[in-house]
Structure 1
Amino acid sequence: MNRPLLVVTICFTLGIIFNSLLVVESGIIFAALLAVSCLALACYALYRREGAAVILLLFVFLGWFWAGVGEHVAGRGPEQFAGHYVTLEGTVDSEPRYGSGGDDAVYVLAAKTVYLGERRVETTGLVQVKVKGSGPVYSYGEQLRADGFVYRPGEPGNFGAFNYRDYLDRRGIHCLMTVMGPEHIRAVASEGRLSPVGLALECKNALRLVADSTLNQRQAAVLGGMLFGSRDRIDRATNDIFAETGVAHVMPVVE
C-alpha cells in the first residue's frame, strides 16, 4: 500500500456507513471486533505482510463499533423520543408543582423505562411531566407510569428573549411530556419516602398544613412563598404588591 493512512481512513469510514445502513446490536459488533483483532494479531505474527487485508477489516469493524457506541451514548436519554407518544416509567424526583390554573400538576420524573409501541428502552434522565386536570397528587419517591407526548421546548423567536430550553437544560431536564388527564398516570411503586429528601418534604408539608389551618388563604400563601418558595398559590394582586414595593426577593424561587 502506497498510502496506508488513506486506506485505513477509508476502511474506518466504511464501518461508519455500515452502521447507518445495517441495524446490528453493539454486542455482536464488539464480539466480531474482538475476533478480527485476534485474527489480525495472529496474521501479523505469522505472515507479517500477508496480514494486511485482515488489519483493514479490523478498521472496518472499529469504525462500525465506534459509530454504534456513539449513537447509543448520544441517544440514551428520554429526549430521543421527542415527537412521539410514549409510556414513561420513572420516579418523582422533586416536590410536585401546580400550573397557573391550580389544577394541572407538574412533576419532574427521573426516567427509567420508555415504551414506544412494542419497543422497550432503558433510559436515564429527567423529564418534566405536566398532567392536565385535577386528580391524585403523587409524592417524592413514588414510581409512576405515564402515557403522554414527549417534546423539546422551542428556541426563543426573538433575540435576547427568555430561553426556556436553556433554563431546563441547566436543571438537567432535556425534554417535556404532556399527559392529557389524571387517568393516564398512575403509581406503580414507592421508593423514597423514608429517604432524607422524602422526610424533609413530609416535614415541609406538615408545616404548610399548620399554616393553612391557622391562617387565612392569602396569609398562608404569602408565608409559604417566604419560607418554602411556593409561589403558585399567591394571587396576582399580592405578587404585584411585592414587586411594586421592591421586596419580591424575600420569596425565593424553589423549583
Structure 2
Amino acid sequence: MSTATCSVPLANSEPRVREALCFDNVTCTFAGNGKNAQTYTAISGGNLTIRDGEFVSIVGPTGCGKSTLLNLAAGLTRPSSGTLSVFGEKLANGLNRQAAYLFQVDALMPWKTAEENIAIGLIFHGTPREEALAVARDWLERVGLHGHGKKYPHQMSGGMRKRASLAQALALNPRIILMDEPFSALDIQTRHLMENELLQLWSFDRKSVMFVTHDLEEAISLSDRVIVLSAGPATRPIAEFDIDLERPREMSEIRMTQRFLQLHSQIWDVLRGEVLKSYAHNRI
C-alpha cells in the first residue's frame, strides 16, 4: 500500500482532492500493566487517508486495532509517533472537533427523551434550548422517528435507539463521522433498514465517513473504498479496494449482483489470510 501524503492545492494548478483524515506513519503503543509487563503496539507505521466526502470501511481480524484507529481519528487516543491531520491541520492535542463518533453501544442518556438526547450536543455547544429542540425534532423526522420524540430510551426498540443515536450525531453537522460497528447488535432486517437509511442521509451532503465493521458484506455495500488491516499486534493497512458499485444502492439488492460477488471474493482472499494468522496467534 502506498505511503500516505496529505495534499494541499498547488499554485497555478488544479486543486487536489482534500483529505478529511490523513494518518501518516502512525504508531500507537500502550504501556503494559504491572512491573514487568511489556508494552503493546496496536498500530505500527499506519498510512491511511479518508478523502473529503468519501465513505470508507475498515475491516480486519478481531482485535487487530480497528477501534484504535477510530479513537486516534477522534482524538481520544494520541499516536506514539507519526502524525494525524484533519483537513490539512495537524491534530496534536485534544478532541477532533470536526468529527462525530457513533459507538457500538448507543450513548443515549436514559433520563432524557429522544428529542432531548438529540438536542443535548447542540445545547452543549451554545445553541439556545428551544432552537436545539427544534433542530432535534427536524432530525427525528429525517430518521423516521416522527411522533417518538417524547419517548425515553427504555421505551424504544433497538432500531429506534440507533436512529436516535444517528440523529444525535448528525444534528451537530460534523464534517467527519466515525462509526464503530454501529449496527452489529441489530437483527438482520433492522440492520438492512438502518444501512439504507444511513446511505440516504449520507447522500444529501456526503460527509466523510470512517466505518469499522466485522461484516465484509456490509463494508462493500456501503462504501466507496474498503481498507483491509493486517492481523495484530502492530497492525497496519495492507490492501485497499475501490468499490465501483453504482449509487444509489439498496442493501438487499446490491448483494445479489455479479460485481458485488467479485469484490467480495477479491477482498476475502486478502482478509481470510489475516483472519487465519490472528486465529493461530491467539491459540498460542
Q: TM-score if structure 2 supplies the norm length?
A: 0.21
Larger Rg computed on CA atoms: 1
* TM-score for the superposition, normalised by structure 1: 0.22
Compare relative contact order (CA 8 Å, sep 6+) and give the higher one, 1 or 2: 2
Looking at secondary structure, tell me which structure has more helix per residue. 1
